[in-house]
Chain A
Amino acid sequence: MKILKIIALCIIVPGLLFGAVSCQTMQTSGPKATLQVIPAETFLSPALFKKPVTFKGTGFGPKEMITVEMILPPGMKMKGLAEGENVVGVALGETDDKGNFTAAMKPIATLNWFFQVGWTPLLKPNFKEARPIPPGVYKINATGLDTDRIASSTLKLVPPPKKKK
């Protein structure tokens, strides 16, 4: 019985301590935040510069800065990201008084993270060096930078339609 108590002590106390150390990254309480990706499914094309991928969220704190991030699948490499880094910020928003936000991807984000272009010394995107990200379903997180509230959704990138002969 004594041994059981001690074993329990050895497991529970470190667990509580570890929990206390890592709780700083946990989501705080509050209304459930939501995220909508518009469109939820698309393909890479120049049309994304005119009508960029947009993110709409609710349930965050009022007047809060929101970072919208794309989570890369394991092993996927991206220009500008260090080895092992699997998160890239793709948009930035600010909520209104009610905690709602809308944020569209800026052209530089579409160029850098979707098309993965190079840049010429003339500061022009170099599509010859582009390595467009592969089709797939990408998790998208929106995080409130004051409340730490997180909402998730997905963006499905499909192959571009085949050109008619």
Chain B
Amino acid sequence: MLPFRKRLRGWWWRRLPPETVCKLRQRRIYLLPTRFGVLLLLVAAAVWVGALNYAVSLAYGLAFWIISLVLLAVLMAFRQLAGLQLQVEAGENTFLGQVANCRLLLINPAGVERQIHLRAEEGDSTVHCQLPAGGQQSVSIPLLLNRRGPHAYPVMQIWSTAPLGLIRAFSWWRPDATVLAYPHPLPDRVRHADGLQAGKGRSGGEDEEDFSHLAEYQVGDTPRQIAWSLLARRDVLASKRFVSQPRGTAVHELAWQDYPAALDGETRLSRLCWRLLQCEKAGQRYRVRLPDTVIEPQAGQRERALAALANCSLPS
């Protein structure tokens, strides 16, 4: 791409306001003939010149019909995009160096079938989706995460050449959403002896899951705790409470300070990340201590902890 064109595009995209929901209207739909469309217009011009020269009335008709067809294609291509609704869906966060899926929802409120192509600017993969009348479809655009932390969704180009392939209707959208890049997990074989805090409960034994009573469901209760039979019978969501806490009450401490100060921040985060994943894998309880935050054991801890790692601003 020419540098000038690149700069122009950059300027254009910066002007686009980020939106979580976007409805394509005529103000933001652009129409240009495709290479085939231009070729056909040239053919029409040639037929027209021939008609002029040989005074062939029907050839005038042909030339004008081709031109009308191209004009109609403008309208048809416009209709492919007009009224289309785009929504942000939560993206799938993933680790640094991997490809994240930016998830978007396309809604077709009109009674026409649409053929939509989506492409992230500066990306090379195109997603094609066919939206039946009144239908909707979720698409995911791959985005390579090349640094830790939040990534804004890329500017999307939405285009369609349907149905005739003569005119390309396109529009840009900057989705107001981010996807997080967690640190790349680095194996850390060193045993951090001080990392394990003794739990306050008893160790092991069959009786550790003695049922005590039913209580109202609280956010964070595991599926195992939910009283499914009650839910089925009475339609009441309740949780079982046990006399003792479930197994593995010992809390692992994953701390920033576990590493020598000489080790750089990213590596520390990567190792913490690996250890965190190990804990998750083993079903162990853990606590993450970062310079600015502490993530206590809680429901959805994995995502919170990983997000904290991703968002951690390194002390300089």
A and B bind = no
